[in-house]
Amino acid sequence: MNSIEKYYKDRSIDIVGELAQR
């Protein structure tokens, strides 16, 4: 997997988790 793809995938998970907590 491309490191950039992994970065964005990890970030998207963080953003979704953050929105879910609000």
Of 3, 7, 2, residue with least CA distance to 15: 7
pLDDT at residue 9 in the model = 94
Indicate the DSSP class of residue 7. H
pLDDT at residue 21 in the model = 87
pLDDT at residue 10 in the model = 94
Q: What is the pLDDT of residues 1-22, one digit of tens each?
A: 699 999 999 999 999 999 988 8
pLDDT at residue 8 in the model = 94
Backbone torsions φ then ψ of 3, nearest 5 degrees? -60, -35
